[in-house]
Amino acid sequence: MVFGLDQLVAFMQQYGYVAFFLLAFFETTLAPIPSEVVLPFAGALIAIGTLNPALLVADVWIGNLTGNLFGYFLAYFLGIDVVLKYGRKFGFKMKSYRDGEKWIVRYGVYFAFVTEILPVIRSVTSIVCGAFKMDLKKFVLFTVAGFVIWSSVLMYIGYVLAGNWQTIADFLVNFSVYIGALSVLVFLIVVRRGILRWLKWAYKKLF
């Protein structure tokens, strides 16, 4: 984690919408910023009426999309070697990228969707897709579907459990890998058909 929990919370409280946009932007590119802390806190602020829900959700989603596009174009035009060389200074890990390589080879375009609902590896989604020169329309479609689900679930948890958001955030950080695995399992069992049917429909309409 780049910031301590107290520093992260102070930053969000002080800068509001700007803070959430920047954190959403950077956590989808190079910096290891824990969305498992940021997004439940966003939900808690919505619950207590500190920030407007529509503006905050839009703020996070736009930050995610902008960050993903930035990472995509960075790797697409500069190449992965340059990104890896300078990205380490911002906490970007070679292992995360290598893991992402294996996933994209196995799942193809669906990589952009599946990895957006997984902790840790989601921070390299855009870099890997850009390095592999995935079609831009496909990348945007699948990555948006993924981060909308991820961010909505975490913000809703924070909204419902506003009084205990910090305890929940600590739990999510410590067990994020297991939660991510459980999320994928639930996705495969419960909503796979509906989500994939919608993605296929949107894919046909766009392409």
Q: Is residue 112 very low, low, confident or very high in pLDDT (cuts 50, 70, 90)?
A: confident
Query: Cβ–Cβ contacts within 10 Å for residue 101, how many?
Result: 16
pLDDT above 80 (res 121)? no
* pTM beyond 0.85: no
Q: How far is CA 119 from CA 14, 16, 34, 42, 202, in A?
A: 26, 24, 8, 17, 25
Q: Which of 119, 139, 137 is nearest to 129 (CA)?
A: 139
50-59, 60-69, 96-105: the lowest-pLDDT one = 96-105
Tokens encoding 132 = 């592999």
Would you state the structure tokens that stand for residue 66, as one six-digit string? 């902008």
Tokens read off for 30? 């190079």
pLDDT at 3: 53
Q: What is the mean pLDDT of residues 137-161?
A: 85
DSSP classification of residue 189: I
* pLDDT for position 63: 93
CA–CA dist 82, 73 (Å, integer): 13
pLDDT, tens digit (0-9, with 9 covering 90-100), for 174-205: 655 555 555 555 555 555 556 666 666 666 66
- The Cα–Cα gap between 176 and 36 comes to 7
Of 142 and 185, which is predicted with more confidence?
142
